[in-house]
């Protein structure tokens, strides 16, 4: 389903990034990093609109031939970036949205952990397994 | 249009298409009306109500009026809509019934029949009335008749199908009216026709679509049908609806492709799977690409053709709708989609063909958008086009790789062949762009023509493709670097690019891109010959865990081989930061407090974590040490330093997590402290707040120029003090390295730089953080003498601890301490004293016996031999002779009640122990000066005495109070008269056995005083008592007793006072409120004595008398004294002389009441000696009077009142007359025999209120 899932801190450093092991990890790192441009663009565009009731889901950030990069930004400006295979046409906006929501919930759980320092890399096993489930889940 | 007679031109699908309206009947008439009609028709919009719940629209209608021909009417099954005549109009000007009947009617009928044959029901008959024409005619029928006739003949039930147009070419209101009516009718009819015919068409179309599962169904056919509908909408300027048609087609096709991918293939789709032979990109400059349309119509289109055509139509419509950005967005989607679809359908595509197609298409879309927008619009919507640019860039890059345009040598023959093939697939340039210099076609051709041109174009697309997107720019920049770097063309530029990108990645903490960029950077730097930079990058890469073991080893080997190679210029050093080579984990001092004395050995053990993948031989590891002499050297004793250091001596260094972003890593945590500022005068709080102590760290400017990887910041520090360790092999992982040094100069040594040298390569850690320092100190020998207990007690042996801190002095055998003895303090020498020698760190070194020799003046203590920086500790017992200061005799001069005036203050403050100081001067072997040490001893007891009388018998009571914490045993309490008069006898009334006196408790001793002759006026006594601590059974030495000296004066009783209260005569008891008589009798007990000889004594004929004042005072207000309460009497100085005084008192309360006090004073007349200083001293005299009178402190209000009367009397007199004085008689001279007597008072019977006070 997703081929790469990344959580990016407010300061744009990765808190968590994981991609499917079969592909070159570096490529996804570059792809996620590049997509931050679009995230910034979208956030700043949104800044002009209503900030309060803004949509967390940023939609398709950055389509490439093979992959689609979707973005999601929390209220604390933590970004979630998900890369999915372009050929997977079964993945519609709604599915992506719900995946992001799941990701956000899991991230919130991580943040609720009193032993987790906000800003540290995420090593939570629960979060990891949730991401795994999103990556292998076949639609 | 103006020439309806001309043969129908072929349908051209352009914007100029309008719905067709046929005109039959009088062509000349129509020609005359046409200009006005075509002008008027679109002027007003008309609401078009739609079927299927679609929203109604306002629509401006235009029409293409053509001459009616039967061929125009569609045959059965013809689905063409564009050529479909929506309305048929018959024009006639006939106003003549004859003519009508003769020709027009026939013509109309024929026309109607044709229409009916084609089942066309949308028609209209227009009758034009012309006044001018009418006038010419003679036989004028009423005009309505023709219209009525027509309506009758043709429009059964639909009378509105016949419209009258009056005088169309005139300019009158009537004309206007009829025009309006006609136009409205025309528009309504047209719309009705649209609704009906389009509805029917749509229904047919849907039916056709439903058949798509049937074999033989062709997408291309359906495409043509639905497109027809789109055309009509476009024709009606309903672009939105037209776009919907295309979008539906698009979706349908996409769905088929997806289904095909899922194995559900439709037959017709296989046709689209034919190999791609042409890749000339999208064509967006024509509204309709007829070429492609025909291909589709002929079912010969490839997938790319279909997609291209579909998109070109969508693009056209979107541009009509003023939505150019949607074009860009859709274009990107389309291109991605096409690539995916080709993959899905497994269409064979020559390598590079798709890249060419995408590149061309991207540029075509971009140019098309640019063509219809102005610059400002494009600039503000860069976000929409940037994706296309970047896609084009990507494709160009892959083309470059494919065709060898980025390889070092340029394209080879195989590459050239490929280029030729690719160019062939482009075909010839299309005519519409042939004249444009910058057409995508030309661009691609040029880019593929040579390496230089390729780079130029690539750079252009990079700049365009990353506008406003820095990260993307970096990503592409890396691509460019690869392009440029590979060909050794402009590695400088590439290096700058990479450094920039790297900085960003580092700042944002992206580990993998950092590694990757560094790898390229290393390559680049190697090319450029930037040795230092290359080595640094190599060291970073060698320690990078994201690389494989082989890669890391390779880079490590690069460093090592460089280090071993360069031996020709020995002075040259290459300085690299240490952190990428190895990391300092912790540091451990021995001794752990990091304090050594001069000459001591200090070892520093560090743990270094080598980051290299292989063991590295390091020639030398050195720590640069900064030496500073501490200003406040006095504090630097071993003890002080020990208190202020970490206990275990291990300093941990924070582990550097290098690939973490600057924002996290560099900024230290806030160090906040609370702050209170108080005003200096009254210590009240002025301000309070929170202070951030490391503001300078937090708020300092981020050094933008200093790159993380430039070694310029690292400089070798030269210093005289260096800790070195040579020839170490650092294994991967933790290594322990030990440095040893011997402390030389005293001061503070701060560890500054850590460096490791591998050949000419120096890895330097510029600063150790947190600060690490060790101290070397030099100490003067010192002697401390302090008591073991809290305070030393006088009189009993006490232990005192001697501590000799040797410092830099070495104690030799034979060195001794010479104590000059103080008089009252003994140093007790035991048979064996032991001294303990400790090392500097309080470890016991040895235990030796101590020799103490005592002579008269000097006690000599031979010290055991001890090395420098050690401590010798031993204890001695000292004894302060307790009575010495007391017998010193200041008490003899003091008054009776204050035997220890010196201690009075301290006693008042809570009975502190009296102290004595003994000063001992000690000669130390290391100094020519004597050390004077003061020892303070506390006297454990406080003693008071008092004189007790019983008539003329006298007793002396001594109270000993133990103030110390210890319990004592008191023995041999003794009181002796030191006043030498032998006739006095002190008879002890005490037990002989030793008494125990507990801590904070008192013991009393009483002696009776007996005399045989006339007693002396004063008596000097000395009290002594032996004491020893109760806890210790036996003491080695006899202790001196505790003594106390005091003096008792005027102890002999002169007067006896007796008071008696008698109830009123006739009653048995006193009653409250009734007067009783108080009888006071004052009796002289002795004849004239020495003590009587004073001013009050008057002598007349051997008869002596003295004046006394008595005063009756009731302290507790039990009695009311009626009448005079005081008076002066003249008392004969003779034994048994008695004076009686009678007065009346009234009891105020019932019960057993104590008698009122009777006080006696000596009444001294004014003495002439005082008169000289009368005025000045009169107040003082008054004061002295009150002082003298102040015998008892418990003066109640009554007595104050009475005294006040005396005062007022005296003050009224004192100005002119000399004042008499009152002097209290010493307590020993008056014996009140009625003290403590009580008398029963019963409450009076007539008391209505009984007061009972319960206490």
Each residue of B1177-1195: pLDDT tens digit? 434 334 333 333 333 433 3
Which run of H or E residues covers position B231? helix B219-235
* CA dihedral of A30, A33, A39, A41, whole degrees rounded to 10: -90
Residue A59 near residue A69, CB atoms below 8 Å: no
Q: Kindly state the percentage of chain A with pLDDT values over 70.
A: 91
Q: Is the peptide bond before B770 cis (omega within 30 degrees of 0)?
A: yes
- Provide the shortest C-alpha distance from residue B503 to chain A (in Å): 13
Interface of B with A (CB under 8 A): 258, 261, 332-333, 335-336, 339-340, 343-344, 383, 387, 391, 394, 468-472, 475, 505, 508-513, 516, 660-661, 663-664
Nearest CA among B706, B676, B669, B705 for reference residue B691:
B676
Residue B72, CA distances (Å) to A55, B89, B115, B202, B707 in order: 56, 14, 11, 21, 80
pLDDT of A123 > 80? The answer is yes
pLDDT of residue B491: 67
pLDDT of B424 > 90? The answer is no
pLDDT of residue B980: 64
Mean pLDDT over residues B440-462, rounded?
Answer: 77
Q: Which of residues B310 and B570 earns the better pLDDT score? A: B310
Residue B539, CA distances (Å) to B301, B495, B518, B613, B728 in order: 59, 18, 11, 11, 18
Residue B1014 near residue B983, CB atoms below 8 Å: no
Task: Choose the weakest-confidence range: B76-90, B127-141, B669-683, B728-742.
Answer: B127-141
Whether residue A43 lies within 8 A of chain B, CB to CB, comes out as no
Pick the most confident of B464-468, B586-590, B637-641.
B586-590
Which alpha helices (H) appear in A57-124, and where do they start and end?
93-112
Whether residue A11 lies within 8 A of chain B, CB to CB, comes out as yes
pLDDT of residue B467: 67
- Provide the shortest C-alpha distance from residue A28 to chain B (in Å): 10
d(CA B422, CA B449): 11
pLDDT of residue B1217: 53
pLDDT of residue A110: 92
pLDDT of B326 > 70? The answer is yes
Contact across the interface for B512 and A119, Cβ inside 8 Å:
no
In which band, very low, low, confident or very high, does the pLDDT at B882 lie, cut at 50, 70 and 90? low
pLDDT of residue B379: 76
pLDDT of residue B717: 63
Q: Per residue in B514-548, pLDDT tens? A: 888 888 888 888 888 888 888 888 888 888 888 88
Task: Choose the weakest-confidence range: B435-449, B515-529, B790-804, B1132-1146.
Answer: B435-449
Mean pLDDT over residues B556-576, rounded?
Answer: 77
For every residue of B520-584, DSSP letters joined together read HHHHHHHHHT-HHHHHHHHHHHHT-TTS-HHHHHHHHHHHHHHHHH--S-TT--EEEEGGGTEEE
Task: Choose the weakest-confidence range: B27-41, B642-656, B872-886, B924-938.
Answer: B642-656
Task: Choose the weakest-confidence range: B127-136, B751-760, B821-830, B955-964.
Answer: B127-136
Which of A30, A42, A139 to substitute to test the interface with B, most B CBs within 10 Å? A30
In which band, very low, low, confident or very high, does the pLDDT at A1 lie, cut at 50, 70 and 90? confident
Q: Which of residues B15 and A4 earns the better pLDDT score? A: A4
Whether residue A33 lies within 8 A of chain B, CB to CB, comes out as yes
pLDDT of residue A104: 92
In which band, very low, low, confident or very high, does the pLDDT at A108 lie, cut at 50, 70 and 90? very high
Q: Per residue in B1115-1148, pLDDT tens? A: 777 888 887 788 888 888 877 888 888 888 888 8
Mean pLDDT over residues B550-558, rounded?
Answer: 88
pLDDT of residue B480: 62
pLDDT of residue B1: 38
pLDDT of residue B1209: 38
In which band, very low, low, confident or very high, does the pLDDT at B1036 lie, cut at 50, 70 and 90? low
pLDDT of B859 > 60? The answer is yes
Q: Kindly state the percentage of chain B with pLDDT values over 70.
A: 79
Q: Which of residues A51 and B171 earns the better pLDDT score? A: B171
Query: What's the length of chain B?
Result: 1255
Q: Which residues of B touch A37 (CB under 8 A)?
A: 468-472
pLDDT of residue B704: 45
pLDDT of B940 > 50? The answer is yes
d(CA B460, CA B457): 5
Mean pLDDT over residues B329-353, rounded?
Answer: 82
- Partner residue opposite B513 with nearest CB, options A12, A30, A86: A30
In which band, very low, low, confident or very high, does the pLDDT at B75 lie, cut at 50, 70 and 90? low
Which of A28, A37, A86, A118 to substitute to test the interface with B, most B CBs within 10 Å? A37
pLDDT of residue B1114: 79
pLDDT of residue A138: 47
Contact across the interface for B344 and A87, Cβ inside 8 Å:
yes
Task: Choose the weakest-confidence range: B176-180, B378-382, B446-450, B490-494.
Answer: B490-494
pLDDT of residue A7: 92
Pairing of strands B984-988, B858-862: unpaired
d(CA B331, CA B682): 80
Residues with Cβ < 8 Å from B622, sequence gap 6 or more? B722, B723, B724, B725, B754, B755, B756, B757
Q: How many CB atoms lie within 10 A of CB A101?
A: 14
pLDDT of B854 > 70? The answer is yes
Mean pLDDT over residues B1233-1250, rounded?
Answer: 75
pLDDT of residue B658: 47
pLDDT of B462 > 80? The answer is no
Q: Which residues of A touch B340 (CB under 8 A)?
A: 65, 86-87
Q: Which of residues B525 and B701 earns the better pLDDT score? A: B525
Mean pLDDT over residues B975-999, rounded?
Answer: 79
Whether residue A24 lies within 8 A of chain B, CB to CB, comes out as no
- With CA atoms as reference, the chain A residue closest to B512 would be A26
Residues with Cβ < 8 Å from B914, sequence gap 6 or more? B900, B902, B903, B906, B938, B939, B942
pLDDT of residue A127: 92
d(CA B307, CA B254): 10
Q: Per residue in B617-655, pLDDT tens? A: 888 888 888 888 765 554 455 555 555 555 566 777 776
Whether residue A65 lies within 8 A of chain B, CB to CB, comes out as yes
- Partner residue opposite B512 with nearest CB, options A26, A86, A119: A26
- Mean pLDDT score across all residues of chain B: 75
Whether residue A14 lies within 8 A of chain B, CB to CB, comes out as yes
Q: Per residue in B832-849, pLDDT tens? A: 778 888 877 777 878 888
pLDDT of B120 > 60? The answer is yes
- Provide the shortest C-alpha distance from residue A134 to chain B (in Å): 23
pLDDT of residue B770: 75
């Amino acid at each position: 389903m997703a081929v790469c899932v990344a959580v990016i801190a407010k300061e744009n450093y990765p808190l968590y990034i994981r991609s499917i092991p079969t592909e070159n990890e570096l490529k996804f790192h570059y792809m996620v990093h590049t997509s931050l441009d679009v995230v910034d663009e979208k956030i700043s565009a949104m800044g002009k609109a209503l900030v309060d009731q803004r949509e967390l889901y940023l939609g398709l950030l950055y389509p490439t031939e093979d992959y689609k990069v979707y973005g999601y930004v929390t209220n604390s400006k933590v970004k979630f970036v998900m890369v999915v295979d372009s050929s997977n046409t079964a993945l519609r906006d709604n599915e992506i949205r719900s995946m992001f929501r799941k990701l956000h919930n899991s991230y919130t759980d991580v943040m609720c952990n009193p032993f987790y320092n906000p800003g540290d890399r995420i090593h939570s096993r629960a979060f990891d397994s949730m991401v795994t489930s999103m990556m292998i889940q076949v639609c | 249009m103006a020439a309806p007679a001309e043969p129908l031109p072929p349908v051209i699908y352009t914007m100029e298409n309008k719905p067709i309206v046929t005109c039959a009947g009088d062509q000349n008439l129509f020609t005359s009306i046409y200009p006005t009609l075509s002008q008027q028709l679109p002027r007003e919009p008309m609401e078009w109500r739609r079927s299927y719940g679609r929203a109604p629209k306002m629509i401006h209608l235009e029409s293409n009026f053509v001459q009616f021909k039967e061929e125009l009417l569609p045959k059965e099954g013809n689905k063409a809509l564009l050529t479909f005549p929506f309305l048929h109009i018959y024009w006639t000007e006939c106003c003549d019934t004859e003519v009508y009947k003769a020709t027009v009617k026939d013509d109309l009928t024929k026309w109607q029949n044709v229409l009916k044959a084609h089942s066309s029901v949308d028609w209209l008959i227009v009758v034009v009335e012309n006044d001018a024409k009418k006038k010419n005619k003679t036989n004028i029928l009423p005009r309505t008749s023709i219209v009525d006739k027509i309506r009758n003949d043709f429009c059964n039930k639909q009378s509105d199908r016949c419209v009258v147009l009056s005088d169309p070419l005139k300019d009158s209101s009537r004309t206007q009216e009829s025009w309006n009516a006609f136009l409205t009718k025309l528009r309504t009819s047209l719309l009705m026709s649209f609704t009906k015919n389009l509805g029917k068409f749509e229904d047919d179309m849907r039916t056709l679509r439903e058949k798509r599962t049937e074999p033989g169904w062709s997408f291309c056919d359906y495409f043509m049908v639905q497109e027809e509908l789109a055309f009509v909408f476009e024709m009606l300027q309903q672009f939105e609806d037209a776009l919907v048609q295309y979008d539906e087609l698009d979706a349908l096709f996409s769905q088929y492709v997806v289904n095909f991918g899922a194995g559900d293939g439709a037959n017709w789709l296989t046709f689209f799977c034919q190999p791609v032979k042409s890749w000339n990109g999208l064509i967006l400059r024509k509204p309709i690409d007829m070429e492609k349309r025909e291909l589709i119509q002929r079912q010969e289109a490839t997938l790319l053709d279909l997609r291209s055509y579909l998109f070109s139509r969508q693009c056209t419509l979107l541009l009509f709708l003023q939505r150019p950005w949607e074009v860009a967005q859709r274009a990107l989607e389309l291109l991605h989609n096409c690539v995916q679809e080709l993959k899905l359908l497994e269409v064979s595509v020559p390598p590079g063909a798709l890249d060419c197609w995408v590149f061309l298409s991207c540029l075509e879309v971009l140019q098309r958008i640019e063509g219809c927008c102005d610059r400002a619009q494009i600039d503000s919507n860069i976000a929409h086009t940037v994706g296309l640019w970047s896609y084009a860039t990507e494709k160009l890059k892959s083309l470059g790789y494919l065709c060898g345009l980025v390889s070092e040598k340029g394209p080879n023959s195989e590459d050239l062949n490929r280029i030729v093939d690719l160019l062939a697939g482009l075909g010839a340039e299309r005519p519409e762009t042939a004249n444009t210099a910058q057409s995508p076609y030309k661009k691609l051709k040029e880019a593929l023509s040579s390496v230089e041109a390729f780079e130029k174009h690539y750079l252009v697309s990079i700049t365009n493709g990353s506008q406003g997107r820095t990260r993307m720019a970096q990503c592409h920049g890396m691509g460019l670097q690869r392009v440029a770097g590979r060909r050794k063309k402009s590695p400088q530029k590439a290096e700058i690019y990479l450094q920039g990108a790297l900085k960003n990645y580092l700042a944002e903490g992206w580990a993998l891109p950092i590694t990757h960029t560094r790898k390229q950077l290393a390559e680049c730097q190697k090319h450029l010959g930037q040795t230092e930079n290359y080595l640094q990058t190599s060291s970073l890469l060698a320690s990078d865990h994201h690389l494989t073991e082989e890669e890391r080893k390779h880079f490590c080997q690069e460093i090592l081989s460089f280090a071993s190679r360069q031996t020709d210029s020995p002075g040259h050093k290459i300085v690299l930061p240490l952190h990428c080579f190895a990391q300092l984990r912790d540091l451990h001092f021995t001794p752990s407090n990091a304090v050594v004395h001069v000459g001591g050995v200090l070892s520093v053990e560090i743990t270094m974590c080598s980051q290299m993948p292989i063991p590295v031989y390091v020639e030398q590891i050195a720590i640069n040490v900064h030496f500073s002499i501490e200003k406040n050297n006095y504090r630097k004793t071993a003890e002080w330093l020990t208190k202020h250091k970490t206990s275990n001596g291990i300093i941990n260094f924070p582990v550097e997590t290098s690939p973490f972003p600057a924002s996290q890593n560099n900024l230290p945590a806030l160090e906040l402290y609370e702050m209170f500022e108080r005003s200096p005068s009254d210590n009240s709080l002025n301000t309070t707040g929170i202070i951030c102590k490391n503001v300078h760290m937090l708020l300092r400017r981020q050094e933008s120029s200093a790159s993380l990887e430039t070694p310029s910041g690292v400089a070798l520090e030269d210093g005289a003090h260096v800790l070195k360790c040579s020839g170490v092999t650092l294994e991967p992982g933790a290594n322990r390295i030990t440095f040893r040094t011997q402390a030389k100069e005293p001061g503070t040594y701060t560890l500054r730089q850590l460096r490791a040298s591998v050949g000419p390569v120096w890895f330097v850690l510029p600063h150790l953080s947190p600060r690490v320092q060790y101290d070397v100190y030099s100490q003067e020998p010192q002697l401390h003498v302090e008591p073991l207990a809290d305070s030393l007690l006088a009189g009993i042996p006490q232990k005192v601890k001697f501590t000799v801190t040797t410092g830099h002095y070495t104690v030799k055998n034979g060195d001794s301490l010479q104590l000059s003895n103080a008089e009252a303090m003994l140093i007790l020498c035991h048979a064996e004293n032991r001294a303990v020698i400790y090392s500097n760190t309080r470890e016991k070194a040895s235990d030796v016996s101590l020799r103490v020799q005592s002579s008269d003046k000097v006690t000599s203590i031979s010290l055991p031999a001890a090395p420098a920086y050690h401590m010798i500790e031993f204890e001695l017992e000292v004894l302060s002779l307790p009575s010495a200061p007391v017998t010193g005799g200041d008490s003899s001069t003091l008054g009776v009640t204050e035997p220890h005036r010196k201690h009075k203050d301290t006693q008042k403050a809570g009975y502190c122990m009296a102290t004595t100081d003994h000063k001992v001067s000690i000669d130390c072997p290391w100094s020519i000066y004597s050390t004077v040490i003061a020892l303070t001893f506390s006297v454990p007891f406080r003693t008071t005495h008092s004189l007790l009388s019983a008539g003329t018998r006298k007793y002396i009571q001594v109270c000993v109070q133990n103030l110390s914490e210890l319990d004592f045993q008191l023995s041999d309490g003794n009181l002796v008269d030191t006043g030498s008069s032998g006739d006095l006898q002190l008879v002890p009334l005490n037990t002989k056995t030793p008494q125990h006196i507990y801590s904070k408790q008192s013991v009393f001793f009483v002696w009776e005083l007996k005399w045989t002759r006339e007693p002396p006026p004063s008596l000097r006594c000395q009290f002594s008592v032996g004491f020893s601590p109760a806890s210790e059974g036996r003491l080695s030495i006899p202790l001196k007793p505790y003594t106390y000296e005091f003096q008792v004066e005027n102890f002999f009783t002169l007067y006896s006072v007796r008071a008696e209260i008698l109830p009123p005569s006739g009653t048995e008891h006193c009653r409250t409120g009734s007067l009783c008589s108080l009888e006071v009798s004052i009796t002289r007990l002795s004849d004239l004595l020495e003590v009587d000889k004073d001013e009050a004594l008057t002598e007349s004929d051997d008869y002596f008398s003295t004046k006394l004042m008595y005063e009756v005072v009731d302290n507790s207000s039990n009695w009311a004294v009626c009448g005079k309460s005081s008076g002066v009497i003249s008392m004969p100085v003779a034994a048994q002389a008695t004076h009686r005084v009678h007065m009346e008192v009234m009891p105020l309360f019932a019960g057993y009441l104590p008698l009122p006090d009777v006080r006696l004073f000596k009444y001294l007349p004014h003495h002439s000696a005082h008169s000289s200083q009368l005025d000045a001293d009169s107040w003082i005299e008054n004061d002295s009077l009150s002082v003298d009178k102040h015998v008892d402190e418990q003066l109640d209000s009554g007595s104050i009142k009475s005294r006040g009367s005396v005062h007022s009397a005296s003050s009224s007199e004192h100005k002119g007359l000399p004042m008499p004085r009152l002097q209290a008689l010493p307590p020993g001279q008056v014996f009140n025999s009625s003290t403590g007597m009580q008398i029963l008072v019963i409450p009076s019977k007539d008391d209505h209120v009984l007061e009972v006070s319960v206490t």
